[in-house]
Amino acid sequence: MKKNWGKTLAIALILCLVGAFGASVIQSDFGRVEITDVVIRTSAGEYTGYLFVPENATPENPAPAIVTSHGYLNNREMQDLNYVELARRGYVVFAQDAYNHGNSGVLVDGWGSDAQRSTAGMVDAVEYLSALDFVDDTRIGVTGHSMGGGYSNATAAYYSGLEREALANGATAEEAKALNKVAACLIVGNYPLALSQSEDTTGNGGYLCDLGIIAGQFDEFYPGMSGYYGYELLTNENTQNLVAVQTGVSLNGAAEEGKFYQNAENGYILAFYNPAEFHALNHFSPATVGHIADFFEETLGAPNPMPGSNQTWWIKEAFNLVGLIGFFGAIVPLAALMLELPFFASLKKEKSLVVPALADKKAKGKYIRTNIISGLLSAILLLPLLLIGYVGLLNPFFPQDTTGGIAFWSLGCGLLAWLMLRVGNGKLKGRGEEFGVTVPKGTKRKTLLLALAVVAATFMLVFIADYVFMTDFRIWTLDIRVFDFSKIIVALKYLPFFLVFYVINSVSCNRNCFEDWSEKKQIMAAVGFNIFAPTLFLLVTYVPVIFTKMTIFGGLPGMLVAVGALIPILVIPFVPILGIAGYLSVKLQKLTGNIWLGGLVNAMLITMITVANTSFTFPY
């Protein structure tokens, strides 16, 4: 029966519309919060962020304000759980794109002050908020996750330093206090190690603001950040010393989670929270966002107070997921409908590739073994190839921090997959038509144009969602977001690496199209083998936590702990991305009878998604 592709596309577009509209309604608190995309030009370059202004914030009734910051490799949207919950509680919120991330500029040598560099722009956000007439400049807070927690720590240290320096130079207490524009600092997934190791335990050497720390019990980065594991947050010597440094209180034992320790001299408080979470779960966690809401309620006072458990951000994420499903769901029907156009009609094939059924147990065993070996080797090579690519493909030409590592691993996996095809299928020479690689003259050029048209049309959905609703399509760490033309140029630099993988992967996926298998079974096999390597890597990484409270990399020395913590977090979105790539490879092959459309669409789509979402080391 002929597929009704128009109906399928209509359903995908409706999902995109519902997802974007629903997410917009929730993040604006049903229209009670005004959202603006702010661009600030500073001495360090262009600095961007979302500004959330609740209706209670007026010049006649200024509201407290909070700056939120994402972590390394992320962007402002990764803080959606916080800006949704804080804005609906009546705080003015500035969700920053840190310098080198998102839509903000890349710091160049000699640009910006030391404070701008150490806080990646957070001081610029604080200064910006303090100048708004609807913000109470005596009640400004900062918070961030991971590296964003480090920015928050540096911001609190900077403003406390301004106040102390002014006092030392003879300013009055009131004059000095006016320079300190941070009233509260909440560090998530990071630790103020230098402060905790201060020798001044009288309470006079701490930050001149309220301070809070949230650390997951299984946080992979914590040994490198604090010298202790996350589950030791409340019991380790650094924390005990930190309590004395910040408040002057001497602990005889462990710190108490959620307790507000107060400095008797200056009134500033200190609080610790230790949820049972991994590092990446801090920005996808009802527990963490509840602690954030409670902390700022205590320190800044919410204009619209609510219990920390009263949360709606997850509804926004659910709508974002609906939009994400619509985004990927639009690709195949878009391609099918474009194939009906006269220009592309010659690419359409009624008969797709068919692979002879596996003849016997021996053939089945060989098929399973080669695919499993390919997955095992890809998982084993993941860490070394990512690291080699990270170091070797990071320069002014390849300007992004981790994209080079992902690209190099993709190249390695592609070549490995080609080797496994050779092992599993015998000599490949002269069998191009059988594998869907050999096509009539002119077909590749036209297929490339079709792939470009499909990818461009699909990304247009994201741009419409961003322009009309100021939302994107996402779930947790998988984010489809907008980009400017300069990032397309960057993506073209990395595209050849991804092309090698996704073209060969398209061949591999379509070797599962056995004539005695249903299409559903073919897709399941393609998806399953595609996600095998990253899933295995993540299981090996995180299952040991059940027994040891740390990942398999938790015992590594020095900076290797950070490497062992970062790589698995990078791998998490590989699972859905590679699964989707397997699905698209099979479905698009069935439209054209060859592997090229699936390979090209996957390569261009995923390269652009990767480049649009991560950080830059060099200007672009």
Helix axes 403-425, 596-613, angle to 10 degrees: 160
Q: For Cα atoms 423, 604, 395, give the angle at the middle one, nearest 5 degrees.
A: 90
Alpha-carbon distances, residue 134 vs 33, 41, 55, 91 (angstroms)? 13, 21, 10, 11
In total, the chain counts a number of residues equal to: 620
CATH code linked to domain 30-311: 3.40.50.1820
Residue 453 C-beta-side C-alpha neighbours within 13 Å: 18
pLDDT of residue 555: 76
Helix axes 80-88, 5-27, angle to 10 degrees: 50
Cβ atoms of residues 195 and 207 within 8 Å? yes
Q: Give residue for tokens 């050999």.
A: 438
pLDDT of residue 113: 87
Write the pLDDT tens digit of every residue in 455-496: 999 999 999 999 999 999 999 999 999 999 999 999 999 999
pLDDT of residue 2: 61
Task: Print the SS3 string covering 174-233.
Answer: HHHHHHCCCCEEEEECCCCHHHHCCCCCCCCCCCCCEEEEECCCCCCCHHHHHCCCHHHC
Residues of the chain with CATH 3.40.50.1820: 30-311
Sign of the Cα pseudo-torsion (590, 595, 599, 600, in order) = negative
Sign of the Cα pseudo-torsion (230, 143, 462, 473, in order) = positive
**Residue 30 φ/ψ region, left for φ over 0, alpha for ψ in the -120 to 50 degree band, beta for the rest:** left
Q: Which residues of the chain have pLDDT under 50?
A: 1
Q: pTM for the complete prediction? A: 0.94
Buried b (16+ CB within 10 A) or exposed e, 78-97: bbbbbbbbbbbbbbbbbbbb
The span from the CA of 177 to the CA of 140, in Å, is: 13
Helix (H, G, I), strand (E, B) or coil at 47: strand
The span from the CA of 104 to the CA of 320, in Å, is: 23
